[in-house]
Each structure stands twice: as C-alpha cells, then as structure tokens.
Amino acid sequence: MKKLFSFVTIGSFICVFASISYGAHYWAKAYGNTNNNDKSDYAHSIQQSNDGGYIVAGRTDWGCCGRYNDIWILKLDDAGAVQWQKAYGSQYAVNDYTYSIQQTGDGGYIIAGLTVVPEEGANIWVLKLNDIGDIQWQKTFGGTEHDQANTVQQTNDDGYIVVGHTPLLEREKVIFGY
C-alpha cells in the first residue's frame, strides 16, 4: 500500500495528512504554533524521505534568531512523530523563507529559498544539510533587488540546479547550476 501525504497551513500552524493510496485515513497531525497567538508557521514543501518518514520545509515566526521569519525544517517518522526540527536564519536577515526541499544522495537535504537583508534586498539562499539537519554549506546569489529560489534538485553528477527569479536579468526566470 502506498501512502499519500499532503500539508496545509491552517491559521497559524501546519497540518500534515497521510493516507493509504485508496483513500483511507492513515494519520493527521498539527505542528508548530497551535496557540493562535501572533506567531505563524507555514509549510511550503514536503517529501517522503528514504527511511519512509517525511521532510517538511517551511517558515516560522518563532525562529532561531529573534526576527520575523526563519526557515523551519521538520523531520517526521512514518507515523508523523517529530524526529528533529530546526530553524535557520541568516545573521543579518529580517526574513528567511524556503520553498523547496529534496533529500540528497548522501542522505542529507538541499533547501532553496531566500533571505531578506535590510537595504540589500532579497537574495537566493541555498543550504545543504546533513541527515540530522546540521548545515554543511550554504550559498547566496543575487543583488539588491528581490531574488528568489523556487525549487532545487540534485543533478546526476551530484551537483544542484536551482530555479527561481531575479529582476537583475532581462528575463525574469533564471536557472543556476553548481
């Protein structure tokens, strides 16, 4: 039986649903701020991981660095229990967002999104995490305008390709590879 999964943001928290391929309910759980105060959590990407669990990427207001929004990654087991969760914020940013996560061939994760630094604008931010969510490396791309990564994929040669947009080029959609 194949499990299907989905996520929605309800109010200020994330709800993940898993079901059996023929539609039977498997499990549903809420994560994040369920107190309905002024803090909010959002999910933007989910993928089933090689161990049968799930990796969820989004953003949170409660973050690591005392700013408005930080990247929030949750690693769930196959029953939806949190194995680990971490928030990531760049040092000078006021907002950090992620829109894409993928498990990599080494069992870690690649994340793409953006970081917003006052008076510098938004830049594409790519983070490579190990299997327990520690940052192995990170890169930023962009200039003084709003640059954003929408998705990232590992390539066959163990590189990465990032798709997003930037107003610095004549065309709005760009692809970075490295």
Q: Encode pLDDT of 23-55 as tens digits.
A: 555 767 777 765 555 667 788 888 999 999 999
The structural domain count of the chain equals 1
- 85 lies in a domain? yes
Residue 82 phi, psi dihedral angles, 5° rounding: -70, 120
**According to the model, what pLDDT value does residue 108 have?**
98
Q: Taking a C-beta distance cutoff of 8 angstroms, is the pair 90, 126 a contact? A: no
Condensed to tens digits (0 to 9), the pLDDT of residues 92-103 reads: 778 898 999 999
**Overall average pLDDT of the 157-176 stretch:** 72
- 102 lies in a domain? yes
- 155 lies in a domain? yes
- 21 lies in a domain? no
- 104 lies in a domain? yes
| Residue 165 pLDDT > 50 | yes
- 93 lies in a domain? yes
Q: Which domain CATH number covers 75?
A: 2.115.10.20
**Overall average pLDDT of the 107-121 stretch:** 90
- 15 lies in a domain? no
* Residue 118 belongs to domain spanning: 36-177
51: left (phi over 0), alpha (psi -120 to 50) or beta: alpha
Tell me what percent of the residues of the chain surpass a pLDDT of 90.
Answer: 35
- 17 lies in a domain? no
As a whole number of angstroms, the distance between CA 68 and CA 95 comes to 6
